[in-house]
Structure 1
């Protein structure tokens, strides 16, 4: 129960904050297309589920029973720490709140109008890469760098097979 509570409090693995897409096997792609989700095609012809996931409603997955294997397997570092008893649910929720605050700070530092319609973190990454045409303050770059380091430390990294 605490694990699902944490996931419903977070949602960053599905909202585009951590990842740009989820790789799909052909049968998974077909199921998601039948649900009406928009998929993208890789150069090799395979399908991916772009993030922000179209099945995400707030922080809840509306395709949970049919979610792709990559989604089933993913467990962020914070979820693993909670499962292993290294942090309490309240401590973990505090880390999630801090992460959301950092993402909001990135959104303020890299305004939406500068680079297309995507998640705050993606917009900021794209803007930072396009720095030859747009100049951002060292403070804005530092906000992005600190947010990425925080996300790396608490959310990305360890993948564990569940079950």
Structure 2
């Protein structure tokens, strides 16, 4: 089931869920050799930028060739929950479709060619100037916030979220 979900999704590899993927130190040279845009994170971890240039739709064109180990080892929260049967396959596909629709709504508000990682920086910049936003900027901030919150809840999980966790409401006595 995990591979069917992955082939219907591609959101990790196209940069929607994460802007980069951490790789092992011994994979940096080979990743660069095959054309992956390698980098170092703020804590100096080796990584490559998303969207992956080997992605075609939602399928990896290097699936049967060498690729960084994270590419085969990573499972999003939707896949993990489906494997544990916390979600039915239908529910998992519905979450993927919802995330894809939300991402397309955000992309429709971006300048042509702007990657999602840059959209996240723009979101943070604009969210910091909330009283001075134009109506167009406000639409973007709301849609981006909604997408990020959905990705945190359904795909990344609380421990890898991009937004601060919301405050819990009052507990019933």
TM interval, short-chain normalised: 0.7 to 0.9
Counterpart among 120, 124, 143 of residue 119 in structure 2? 124
Listed one character per residue, the Cα deviations across residues 24-60 of structure 1 (whole Å, up to 9, x for unaligned) are 2232122223323332345777642110011212211
Q: Cα distance, 1:158 vs. partner?
A: 7.2
Residue aligned with 1:36, SS = coil
Q: CA RMSD in A?
A: 2.5
Runs of at least 5 residues in structure 1 that lack an aligned partner in the other structure: none
CA distance in 2, matches of 1:156, 1:66: 25
Residue aligned with 1:71, SS = helix
More displaced stretch, 84-93 vs 22-31? 22-31
CA distance in 2, matches of 1:100, 1:43: 29
Map of 1:16 onto structure 2: 15
Map of 2:133 onto structure 1: 135
CA distance in 2, matches of 1:136, 1:122: 22
Q: Cα distance, 1:136 vs. partner?
A: 4.2
Normalised TM-score (structure 2) = 0.74
Instruction: Tell me if structure 2 keeps the 8 A contact 1:11–1:60.
Output: yes
Runs of at least 5 residues in structure 2 that lack an aligned partner in the other structure: 160-173
Q: Cα distance, 1:96 vs. partner?
A: 0.5
Residue aligned with 2:156, SS = coil
Instruction: Tell me if structure 1 keeps the 8 A contact 2:7–2:58.
Output: yes
Normalised TM-score (structure 1) = 0.78
Map of 2:60 onto structure 1: 61
Map of 1:51 onto structure 2: 50
Map of 2:171 onto structure 1: none
